[in-house]
């Protein structure tokens, strides 16, 4: 099929006088990993919020698998196969790691308007959750409350929860945020593996990670895509070097 899995058409989002997303268009093909880079405040998180449904756009359309989802609420988009992870870790701190993930599995396995049978007796949920917990490398802390995890582990859990909804497209907002070198490397490995199974839109600051993972890169500045291309093309693009990579170097 030639329709891209995600097609963003002339999206506009304004906050008062500020245009955080400015006539933004973008395609993500099935199976592709597209990275979005851009300086702080470029509008990357704002874009993901519109894609996930947490914010509605002022103009433009979002097509997912050919269907216009621009006006669907967050939870409906999730069931269509869109999942998001957060730049600022958003987990269930008093739940164990396994319960965090099981909660997301539960969401895609039938109705939760069930009031009688104990959820703890549903083996399917637990097994599916455990498989994902193991997949992201958290099986040794599966029984621990999420609040007790290290920052790096919480970032892994953040990702595991998104995966557990069974998405077709993963929207990842700076998964390496605040991580040390070691942890970053492990996260890159993990995303590299996930890439085989999911279509991914990755927002990331870490250039090494982006160059390693991306099939295609879009550069966002002041809410506009100023360039898209392969890793090589973006590396050599003068405008990009000025607007972004240059800034990166001097920071």
Partner 1 sequence: MTSTLVSISSKAIASAGDAAGKRSSLVPTVAGLGLLTALLLFPSIAAALDETFYVSFVTRILIFALAASSLNLILGFGGMVSFGHAAFFGGGAYIVGMLSIEVTRDIGLLPGTQSAWVAWPTTMLACALMAALIGAISLRTRGVSFIMITLAFAQMIYYLFVSLKTYGGDEGMNIGTRSTIGFGLSLSDDATFYYVVLALLVVSMMLFRRLVHSRFGNVIRGIRENETRMEAIGYDTYRYKLVCFVIAGSFAGLAGALLANQNTFVSPRMLDWHQSGLLIMMVILGGVGRLWGGVVGAVVILLLEEILSEYTLYWQFWLGSLLLFLIIVAPKGLIGLADRAFKGGLK
Q: And the tokens for 106?
A: 């539960």
For residue 217, state whether it binds ligand ADP (rule: CB under 6 A): no
Residue whose C-beta lies closest to Mg ion? 45
Stretch that binds ligand ADP, among 15-23, 110-118, 127-135, 206-214 (CB under 6 A): 15-23
- Angstrom distance (rounded) from CA 10 to CA 62: 9
- Angstrom distance (rounded) from CA 97 to CA 154: 9
Task: State whether residue 15 is helix, strand or coil.
Answer: strand
For residue 115, state whether it binds partner 1 (rule: CB under 8 A): yes
In angstroms, how far is CA 175 from the centroid of its own chain?
A: 8
Whole-number minimum distance, CB 98 to partner 1, in Å? 5
Kindly determine how many residues on this chain lie close enough to bind partner 1 according to the rule CB under 8 A: 49
Binds partner 1 (CB under 8 A): choice among 21, 50, 106, 237:
106
Nearer CB in complex with partner 1: 92/222: 92
* DSSP sequence for 145-196: BGGGS-HHHHHHHHHHHHHHT--SEEEEE-TTTT--HHHHHHHHHHHHHHTT
Binds partner 1 (CB under 8 A): choice among 3, 10, 15, 74:
74
Interactions with ligand ADP, residue window 24-43 (CB under 6 A): 38, 40-43
Residue/partner pairs of 122-128 with CB below 8 Å, 24 or more apart: 126/98, 126/102, 128/102, 128/164
Output phi, psi for 70, to 5 deg. Answer: -55, -30
Whole-number minimum distance, CB 116 to ligand ADP, in Å? 41
For residue 237, state whether it binds partner 1 (rule: CB under 8 A): no
For residue 21, state whether it binds Mg ion (rule: CB under 5 A): no
Whole-number minimum distance, CB 20 to ligand ADP, in Å? 4
Sign of CA dihedral 93, 100, 198, 76: negative
- The entry of ligand ADP, Mg ion, partner 1, none near residue 123 (CB within 5 to 8 angstroms by kind) is partner 1
Stretch that binds partner 1, among 14-22, 95-103, 195-203, 242-250 (CB under 8 A): 95-103
In angstroms, how far is CA 112 from the centroid of its own chain?
A: 25
For residue 121, state whether it binds ligand ADP (rule: CB under 6 A): no
- Helix (H) or strand (E) holding 52, with range, is helix 44-52
Nearer CB in complex with ligand ADP: 15/56: 15
Nearer CB in complex with ligand ADP: 51/136: 51
18: DSSP letter: E
Interactions with partner 1, residue window 135-194 (CB under 8 A): 142-143, 145, 161-162, 164-165
């Amino acid at each position: 099929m030639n329709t891209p899995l995600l097609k963003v058409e002339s999206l506009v989002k304004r906050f008062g006088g500020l245009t955080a997303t400015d006539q933004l268009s973008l395609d993500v093909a099935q199976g592709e990993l597209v990275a979005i880079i851009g300086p702080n405040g470029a509008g990357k998180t704002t874009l993901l919020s519109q894609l996930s449904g947490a914010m509605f756009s002022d103009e433009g359309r979002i097509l997912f698998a050919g269907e216009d989802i621009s006006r669907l609420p967050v939870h409906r988009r999730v069931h269509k196969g869109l999942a998001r992870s957060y730049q600022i870790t958003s987990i269930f701190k008093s739940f164990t790691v396994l319960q965090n993930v099981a909660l997301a599995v539960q969401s895609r396995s039938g109705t939760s308007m069930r009031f009688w049978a104990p959820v703890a007796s549903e083996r399917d949920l637990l097994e599916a959750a455990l498989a994902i917990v193991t997949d992201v490398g958290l099986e040794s802390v599966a029984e621990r409350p999420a609040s007790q995890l290290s920052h790096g582990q919480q970032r892994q859990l953040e990702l595991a929860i998104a995966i557990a909804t069974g998405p077709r497209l993963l929207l990842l907002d700076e998964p390496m945020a605040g991580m040390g070198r070691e942890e970053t490397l492990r996260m890159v490995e993990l995303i590299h593996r996930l890439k085989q199974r999911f279509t991914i839109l990755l927002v990331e600051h870490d250039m090494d990670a982006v160059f390693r993972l991306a099939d295609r890169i879009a550069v966002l500045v002041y809410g506009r895509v100023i360039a898209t291309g392969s890793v090589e093309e973006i590396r050599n693009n003068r405008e990009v070097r000025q607007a972004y990579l240059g800034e990166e170097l001097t920071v």
